[in-house]
Amino acid sequence: MTDISIEGGRALLGGEILETSLQTEGHQISAVGSDHGPGALSLDARDLLVLPGIVDLHGDAFERQMMPRPGVDFPVDVALADSDRQAIGNGITTVFHATTWSWEPGLRGADNARGLLEAVESLRPQLAADTRLHLRQETYNLDAEAEISQWLAGRRVDLFAFNDHMASIVASATRPRKRAQMVERSGLSNEEFESLVQRIASRADEVPGSIARLAEAARNANVRMLSHDDNSPAMREAFRSLGVDIAEFPVNEETARAAAAAGDAIVFGAPNVVRGGSHTGWTKASDMIAKGLCSVLASDYYYPAQLLAAFRLAADGVLPLAKAWDLISAAPAKAAGLSDRGILAQDHRADIILVDDELPLRPRIVAVIAAGRLVHLTEANRLIRSSTARREAVAAE
């Protein structure tokens, strides 16, 4: 492992942006400030922001690498490698791949969930980002309960979410375009899909018991849990009573307020901020942030969104950049129980990104260090052999 010195950048430290230097040793940040020896490798960070790596609790853009068009599949290892490059290139150093295991066959079926889990576990050492599994269980996926319980007990799942899209799937019968997308994704005929929906929906009475048992399994394994699309304070309270203390995409302000009052982490999508609103017409994330009703922004379906959203919030005067950055780094790390990252501090994991912020709404990633490794660099002239060489170069100017 090569020790790295980062010289002369504007670093986010303790809620402030200060000009200073950092040094890594092994996987960790070993020093903050100028009183350290030269690293084997140095980066000239002048005119750049030095920020903690982004932590993404919910990203499913990798699905587009697995199935770029309906019915067109690519190997999962190829998809994960490409997704890793995309995540790192957008400053994401910890990524939770959010995969849905539904009762539907196809992209969100059992074989895909099993294949993704095995691929993440086998490829993790080769990937630049710290890659983890966020398993989204469709609550009507009753036949998978026993296997998922085993995954949880074996700590093979890093985040566990409860989804219930049955109502919207049933309602989609009156929306031909939406229903056609679902049918195409499943690989079934229209008649087969309709029959499957009716059979699964008929088991509604079994769902609450399954949720309770899976929540208990997650608690016993100390796996953090999320509930997706909570639509009322009562729904949020019901999940909280099971130990589910992360509210993911609450659909209205009333529910978000109830979550905030209870101290729950509240996740919204960063694309919502970048685009100026939800593509579904639900809660506007920037309004929730301004009201203190959002603590985490996730990439959701678009890896560049977290970086862009933080700078958008600062440019719009919603939050200063230091606070906006917390939404995509320190806060998601805390929500996931990862106390070793999310801030730039001695003895923390060396997940560091260098950003050119000359254009406020178009920040550009210049370099990414993940767990002490330089894994992305767009400007080779930023490399210098040692801190001593850096000082000599500055003195000669």
Neighbours of 164 (CB within 10 A): 18
Question: What pLDDT score does 278 carry?
Answer: 74
Over residues 200-224, the pLDDT tens digits come to: 999 999 999 999 999 999 999 999 9
Over residues 247-278, the pLDDT tens digits come to: 999 999 999 999 999 999 999 999 999 998 77
**b (16+ CB within 10 A) / e for 366-396:** bbbbbbbebbbeeeeebebebbeebeeeeee
Instruction: Please state, for a pLDDT cut of 90, what percent of the chain lies above it.
Output: 78
Question: What pLDDT score does 38 carry?
Answer: 64
Please give the model's pTM, rounded to 2 decimal places.
0.91
Say if residue 388's pLDDT is above 80: no
Domain ranges of the chain: 4-52+343-396, 54-335
Per-residue confidence band for 387, with pLDDT thresholds at 50, 70 and 90: very low
Over residues 94-123, the pLDDT tens digits come to: 999 999 999 888 778 899 899 999 999 999
Homologous superfamily, domain 54-335: Metal-dependent hydrolases (3.20.20.140)
Per-residue confidence band for 386, with pLDDT thresholds at 50, 70 and 90: low
Tokens representing 264?
Answer: 């729950």
Please, are residues 210 and 145 in contact by the beta-carbon 8 Å criterion? yes
Homologous superfamily, domain 4-52+343-396: Urease, subunit C, domain 1 (2.30.40.10)
Say if residue 163's pLDDT is above 70: yes
Over residues 40-57, the pLDDT tens digits come to: 899 999 999 999 999 999
* DSSP designation for 72: B
State how far the alpha carbon of 131 is from the alpha carbons of 83, 111, 145, 184, 351, in Å: 10, 20, 24, 29, 13
Look-up: residue for tokens 């086998």?
Answer: 122
